[in-house]
Amino acid sequence: MLSNAMTRPTGPIDPDATPSRMWHFFHPLMIPLLGAGLMLLTSCGNSEESPQQNTTPSTLPQSTITVGFGPSTYINQFENGVKPILEAQGYRVETKTFSQNSMIPAALKEGAIDASVHISTANMIEMNRRLDADMIVWADTPSAPQSLRSLKHQTLDAIQDGMSVGLPNDPVNLERAVRILEDLDWVEIPPDLEIATFHINSVTPKKYALKLVLMDSAQLPRALADLDFAIINGNYVANQGDKISDGLVIEDSPPEHLVKVAIRAVNQDKPWAHDLKAAYESDAFEAYIRSDELFDGFIYPKAWQKESNQTDRSNQSNPDNL
């Protein structure tokens, strides 16, 4: 047996023994066994490390989607109408709410969020220029028009010289608001002004000499009690439980001012981006929006309007459907 073949010391080990003198403690048959043991340990170590060596984060599918919002009802749309669809597909879905919309494009560019739901096409063009960013319109979502509102006056007939009108202070929303006043003949502005660089100095009185008060869009609902009139973005109106349709004047929002879902162009071929787009275009999302009174007065995506018109025409042509 192996134990009998091994040479055993007959006395105490000499601490000063040289390697040549100590070698007789190990039998030559032990060398293959030691080698096999080392090979086994090496093999086990390699098998544990191999997944890390062969797989990099860039090859793994993204399982978390982070979407950024300003303080608005667009996050309600997402949380209740889109997020459940994505979670059912296995995604982990996170939302980030920024105190100011101006913070969101930079966060999207830097990768702090994967998508945003707050920006119009007009604003996106300008922010891409300023930030050297690559944001693109990725999907439509129900968009809230601006409205002219007042707590002090019940009709437009109350307007007089010197009255105060609150307006958003960012160029894009300011231009929208002033267009409403222009349509009322209260003010006038030169034609062909750039939306992204619109300035209050471009506005001159027409029928009335008004006091135009600029402030952050989100502050206008709270300031309305101190103003004669204010033009407020529709998402803030809906967010405080009021109806957009109760405004004295409702904006006929041009396409460039409708809110869009935005992502970076570099991500447009990613599976998560296509799943996000599909969720916003789904029948389930449309059904949720149409069933919630919070979104009364919102401007629906054109695709929804076409489907609604086709259904109406089908019902008219086939009385059995009525």
Separation in Å, CA 33 to CA 28, 38, 47, 116, 152: 10, 9, 21, 63, 95
Separation in Å, CA 302 to CA 140, 276, 309: 9, 18, 11
Beta strands in 130-181 (DSSP E): 135-140, 147-149, 164-168
Residue-wise pLDDT for 41-57, tens only, equals 444 444 444 334 343 33
What does the H/E/C string look like for 7-21? CCCCCCCCCCCCHHH
Q: Is the dihedral of CA 235, 192, 180, 226 positive or negative?
A: positive
- The end-to-end CA distance of the chain, in Å, is 97
Average pLDDT rounded to a whole number, residues 2-29:
45
Beta strands in 49-124 (DSSP E): 64-69, 92-97, 115-120
| DSSP secondary structure code for residue 80 in this structure | I
Phi, psi of 219 (to 5 degrees): -85, -20
Note whether 140 and 302 are within 8 A (CB). Answer: yes
Provide CB contacts within 8 A for 168, sequence distance 6+.
174, 176, 177, 214, 215, 216, 217, 220, 231, 233
Q: How far apart are CA 218 and CA 106, in angstroms?
A: 19
pTM exceeds 0.85, yes or no? no
* CB atoms inside a 10 Å sphere around CB 320: 5
* CB atoms inside a 10 Å sphere around CB 195: 20
Separation in Å, CA 213 to CA 23, 172, 206, 288: 96, 16, 17, 37
Q: Is the pLDDT of residue 8 over 90?
A: no
Q: 141 falls in which pLDDT band (50, 70, 90)? A: very high
Residue-wise pLDDT for 212-263, tens only, equals 999 998 899 999 999 999 999 998 999 888 999 999 999 999 898 999 999 9
